[in-house]
Structure formats: C-alpha cells, structure tokens
Chain A
Amino acid sequence: MRLLTHNYLQSNVKGTEKGYPLTIEPTKIEYEESPIDMEFVENILTKIDYSALLSARNQIEDRCHSDLGSDFIVPSLPEVMPKRYSDGNSKDDKIEEDETNQEAFLKSIHTILFDIHVLEGHLVCPDTGRRFNIKMGIPNMILHEDEI
C-alpha cells in the first residue's frame, strides 16, 4: 500500500463520520524506487490531503529506519504545502520559491507517495479503533456483517 492510497482510504464502520485519516501501524515496509513524473506529481498534489500525508509520513518513519536500513532517510516535508500546489493553479501563479527548492520538494513528495510500500501492518480508525489489516501490501477494508 502506497501512502497515496492511504490518503484516500477511510473507515466505513457504521456510525462513524470521523474515520479519516486512518492511523498506520506498519510492521513491514519496502522501498521500490520509481521514475519521477514531475507533471504527475504536481497534478496529484492538488488532490491530496496534505496534513494526512504529513501524519502518515511520521507514522511510518520508525519502521522505515528498521526495515530499510540506517542509510535510508525518509524525506522531510514542510509543515505547510507550498501555496502554488494547494490552490491548484500552479501553472499561472508567480513562482514563489526558487527552482531547486521546488524540485526538491517534488522529489520528496514522489518518494513518500509512490516509493514507500507498507506491506504488512494495520490501519486503525481514529474514531472507533477498528483495525483493518494489511497483508502482502493489500489493505483489507471489508467490514464484518455486524459492522455494515
């Protein structure tokens, strides 16, 4: 499960309206580098919930250190997303930061959204505490009969 997918998942237990974002409790993580498509990353930035991404990043950090070796550093992210992406009008706005900062930011986003995979673990509903398991990288979001 990539963090991009996590950004969209919510808990659907009956009666909860606050099932987002799910807390990640990873027990196994893998890193798989992929080529960066800058345009794609810029586009996707306008559609994600940035604060959920930040907390997800923090939740997986420790597991990344133990599973991916001390050489691997999870890129850090600014507290607030650069304005040009949050407004979704990135093409027309004046460039606020210099090019290198921007590129570095996009690279970090790419790594965190696409290249880190939670293979085993749980997603926990922040409201009800219901745990959804992740096995082989596949989150199991199906509720039991009495929860629908």
Chain B
Amino acid sequence: MTNNTDMEHHSEISHNRYNVLIEFAHIHLEFQRPELESVLSLHDIAIGRDCIEVPLPSSIPTVENYRPFLILSFDYHYAKEKFNLDDDGYVIQSDMSRFSKIDRTKPTIASVLSRCTLIRSAIELWGAGPSFDSCVEHARQLSSGCAGRITLENCMKLSSSWKITIHTLGTKFNREEQNDMRMKFAFFNLPGKVQMVNPTNEFLLIREVELDPKGTPLSQERDNFLSPPLAVYYGRVLGGIRDWRGNGRLDQFSLKKRSYLGPTSMDAELSLIMTNLGLVRNGSFCFDPFVGTGSILLTCGLRGGYCVGTDIDIRVLRGRSDEENVLSNFKQFRLNRPDLIRSDNALYHRHYRMNKPIYDVIVTDPPYGIRAGARKSGTKEEKIRAIPEDRRHDHIAQTKVYPVSDVMGDLLDVSARTLVMGGRLVYIIPSMRDFDVEKDLPNHECLEIAHVCYQPLQTELGRRVVVMKKVKEYDPSLRESYLSSVWINGPESAEKCANIRERLLEAAKLKPGYEEKAAYRKKRRQITREEKKKQRAKHV
C-alpha cells in the first residue's frame, strides 16, 4: 500500500496538469538540457515560465548517476491552447522535413520535441512513482484530475487500437511476468482492441534502474533478489514512434552518406545539436566563417537557413571535383546553394561592408591546429616579393600561421559586430577536462555566454560547445578595446586549446608505466616491420 512518502511524490505530479515524461539517449549528457531549452524557445516556451520541471520520483534518497529522464508539467489550459493534444493520428516522419519544420499553429508536442537530437521518446504521463505499486496507484487517480480525465476520455474510442510496451532498461522479465505487469493497468478498461503492429495508441511502461556513467544498468541482483526499481512510469507514447532514434530513423544516418567529407568534417549529430543550440530555423541567416567542407553549414541549410560560408583555403572550398564539394552536398539534399567566399576572417572588416548587423546565427568549428592549421593572409618572409603581372591571376597567396588567440578574438569580434541583437554564436573549442570555463573562455562585452557543453573524447580530452548571445550593440570605435579584453587570463588561455596534442603527450609521459608501454609498442612495431619485410622477400 502507498505510504506517506509516496503520496508526497504523487502530489507533485498532479493530474490537474498535463505532464510529459521525456526520455533522453545516454549520450552527450551535458547537451541534453541546453538542446531541449533551445528547441523549446523556438516555440517561445520557457521552463519555469510556461511549464515546470517536476523532480523525478525516486526509491533512493540520492542518486549519484545521471538519470536520462525529465518531467515537464504544463498548466492544462496553456497546453490546450498551445498544442494540438490530439495526436493519435500523428506519426513523426524521419524525412528531411523534420529538420526545419516549425509548425507555428498548434503543433503536437511530439513535433516540437522531435527536433531534439538527444530525445529518445516522450510520453504523456499517466502514472509515476518510486515503485511499481505507487505508479499503478498514481495512474488509478488519473481521471480525478481535470487534465487526466480528458486525457483518458480521448483514448476511450472503440476505434482506437492499443498495446503496452514494457521498457525495463536491461532487466530481464519472462513473458508471464511481463503480462502480469500489463494486467496491473487493465483497470483503464480501454474499449478498443489490442493490436501489436501500428496500434493507434502505444502505452509505455518504464521500469527505471540506475545507470552507470556509460549508460549501462548497474547490477540489479543483490543476494539473489532483484533490486527494486529507481522509479516506474506509465504513459502514452507521443509521436507514434516508441524510439525516435531507432535504427535508420535518426536523421544523421542520411547525413553520413553525404558525398563530400574530409578529415575535419563535423560529425553529423554534433552539427544537428549545434544548430539547435543556435536556434536555426526557416529563414535564419546563417554564417560559418571557417566553413571547410561545409558540414555545419549543411545542417543550417537543412533547418531552412540561408547559408553563407567563408574560408581562406580555396582548395577546400572548391572540393575534390565537381561531384565532391560543398555545393554538391547541398545539391544532394536538394537545398538551395549556399554562398561561399574565399576570404580571411582576420580581415573580415575589410572584406565586408558592415553598417548593419545581418546574421541570425554564426555557427562554426574554428581551426585549432590539431587537424587543420589556421592560416591568415600575409607571409612569414620579411621581404615581400612583388608578384609578376603574368602570374598574378593564378598565384596562390602565401598565408601565415594564425594564432589561436587571434582566431578566437576575431571570431568573437566579428560575431559581436555582425549578429543581430539576440543572435547566437555557437562554436567548438577543444579542451582538457580541467578547463576553467569561467576564466579560460574568450570574452566580449557585447556577447553573453548562454551554454557551455562538454563532450568527452578521451579520458582527459574533450570538446566544449560554447553558445553566446549578442546582448549589446557593437561600437566600432571600441574595437581595439574589445580585442584587448578577450582573454581574462591572457592569450595563454588560448594556447591551452592550441597545443592539446603536445599536452596530452606530456600528460601521458608522467603516468606510471608509460616507459614500459612505450617500449612495448616500439617492440611491436619492430616485429610488424620485420614481418612485412619477410612477406615482401617472399613475393620477390
């Protein structure tokens, strides 16, 4: 029977309100909330103002590990005005329209949330609790609330078929046990028939267990007994698909097949997330000053943006051939061609007339000297040789090394100047885990940090995606002052990102066993070389 603690939880998830449980994938953990908040803001929804986040029920007082769930609770009248709550016919499509379509007039909640790359599913929450029984009890009270009553009524059509899917996060239950669980919810007495394939409504019963940092469920067996769940949820699947990221449905799979890829091409999932963080939508004027192979710009185009990209490297802009270049990628996805310009971001103010801010979003992966060295106009030679007239046309101008501190300073200054008010700059910065986000990130008086999300790549090394908003108008007469205050700790902060490979090597050398491992690897390489020599000798 329910006890007092359970009742406290129940009163927080009120059936007078419209409640949605979001299940995230266990990946890019730091990006999940910022991405969700960004996508919600595209629809002018703010957590805290238009809906509240309800704490998850829990059978343990403190859970140390990450829980990939979130409950949003809406005032029912707000939800009814804002959304089309009757989405039993609506199924999320996996085609390209999902990238950019923002339905202004009463979208379904699923169509709003499905833009989040990191969401696996969303359910209309009918019951929740720290235990199976408390979840069932909570679900029994659904129709006692004004929102719950209507929610239930909507599913009472004879013509609506249904089924219950059980999601136990790795814990195994046999068929009999599963049916027992399903029967606990039989009290709803849904009139329609049970249908396993494509029912009108799919219900999801989730038995949450604690996951380790990699997303693997912690062992559930203690002294031969099955540990109790962390929480149990029951609700109706929104969007007609149980797993939005399921095989072949995630949009990034189609992006992987794009024709022009290079060593520095951004992985598709991260591009999708970055453009969400940048609030790219239909008609957004998008700019990538280090466009390279155009991976990020492509995602902007897919989201309906008008795309402009610049780069100092003409070879990367023109691509490998007519069939393999930035433009062919856009063509492959049937997008309007982007405008590409070969120019130097260090000299942006000289290439471009900047009387009025024009960009809504600047989203980029600046060069850090790890996979592609940054260059700017100019030569390292002291005496500049004039180029003979007959050679000028095809002359590839020399470029010189562009220090990371300047790359970032220029990027922020150009962004501050060319973004519209409220426009966003989204960039990637490689950094060690112990990076000081407060002091080591570049600053600009006109820009404010909105999000910083860390993506681990190796134990110590990762990437941070930084999102900045323009909050103050740019004053051209203050340019020198802006540029000199970019680094709180001085340009050395920039060098922290620039020399990561060397730093990794230094760090590895200090670790115990390094000498042995290095010697071992050397020996193995020697053996491999000798093997190869023997092979070649045989074939001669």
Of the stretches A39-47, A62-70, A73-81, A101-109, the one at the interface is: A39-47
Chain A contact surface mostly: loop
Cα distance A138–B341 when bound, in Å? 5
User: Is B358 interfacial (CB 8 A cutoff)?
Assistant: yes
In the complex the two chains form, is B387's CB within 8 Å of A12's CB? no
Instruction: Contact check, B339 vs A142: say whether CB atoms are below 8 A apart.
Output: no
How many Å lie between the Cα of A138 and that of B326 in the bound state? 11
Q: Which of B14-22, B82-90, B348-356 contacts A (4 or more CB under 8 A)?
A: B348-356
- B247 nearest CB across to chain A (Å): 33
Which residues of B, 283-311, contact A by the 8 Å Cβ criterion? 283, 285, 306, 308
Question: B242 an interface residue at 8 Å Cβ cutoff?
Answer: no
Scan A1-43; emit 1 where CB is below 8 A from any B CB, else 0: 1101101111010000000100000000000101001011000
State whether A138 touches B342 (Cβ < 8 A): yes
Number of residues in B with C-beta < 8 Å to the partner?
38
Residues of B within 8 A of A5 (CB): 308, 339, 341
Give CA–CA (A146, B476) in the complex, Å: 27
CA distance A114 to B47 in the complex (A): 38
Pairwise interchain contact B386-A146, C-beta atoms closer than 8 A: yes
B395: chain A residues at CB < 8 Å are: 144
Interface residues of B in 374-401 (CB under 8 A from A): 377-379, 384-387, 392-393, 395, 397-398
Please indicate the chain B residues that have their CB under 8 angstroms from the CB of A8 in the complex.
352-353, 358
- Taking CB atoms and an 8 Å cut-off, the chain A residues in 68-112 that contact chain B are none
Q: Which residues of B contact A138 (CB under 8 A)?
A: 314, 317-318, 340-342
How far, in whole Å, are A12 and B341 apart by their CA atoms in the complex? 14
* Cβ contact within 8 Å between B351 and A145: no
Asked if A10 and B392 sit within 8 Å, CB to CB, the answer is no
Other-chain contact of B337, A10, A40, A137, A145 (Cβ < 8 Å): A137
B440 at the interface (CB under 8 A from A): no
Q: Which residues of A contact B347 (CB under 8 A)?
A: 12, 148
Interface, chain B (partner A; CB < 8 A): 282-283, 285, 306, 308, 312, 314, 317-318, 325, 327, 336-337, 339-344, 347, 350-353, 356, 358, 377-379, 384-387, 392-393, 395, 397-398
Rounded to whole Å, the gap between the CB of A116 and the closest CB of chain B is: 12
Distance of B334 from chain A, by nearest CB (Å): 11
Q: Which residues of A contact B306 (CB under 8 A)?
A: 40
C-alpha gap A144/B353 in the complex (Å): 20
B325: which A residues are within 8 A, CB to CB?
136
Task: Point out the residue from A37, A47, A144 that lies within 8 Å of B282, measured CB to CB.
Answer: A37
Minimum CB–CB distance from A135 to chain B (whole Å) comes to: 8
A residues in contact with B392, CB < 8 Å = 144
Which of A47, A136, A139 is B318 in contact with, Cβ under 8 Å?
Answer: A136
A8 to B354 alpha-carbon distance, docked (Å): 8
Per the bound structure, the CA–CA distance linking A117 and B330 in Å amounts to 15
- Whether A1 lies near B339 (C-beta < 8 A) is yes
Q: Which residue of B lies closest to A132 (CB)?
A: B342
B384 and A49 contacting across the interface, CB-CB below 8 Å: no
- Residues of chain B lying within 8 A (CB to CB) of residue A49: 353
Alpha-carbon distance A9/B327, docked complex (angstroms): 21
Whether the Cβ atoms of B339 and A9 lie closer than 8 Å is no
A145 contacts B384, CB within 8 Å?
yes
B214 vs chain A, min Cβ distance (A): 44
In the bound complex, how far is the Cα of B486 from the Cα of A116, in angstroms? 40
Say yes or no: is A54 at the interface (Cβ < 8 Å to chain B).
no
Complex-state Cα separation, A39 to B412, whole angstroms? 28
21 sample A-B contacts, Cβ–Cβ < 8 Å, listed by A number: A1-B339, A2-B339, A5-B341, A9-B352, A10-B350, A10-B353, A12-B347, A32-B337, A37-B283, A44-B285, A46-B356, A47-B358, A117-B337, A138-B340, A141-B343, A141-B351, A145-B384, A146-B386, A146-B387, A148-B347, A148-B378
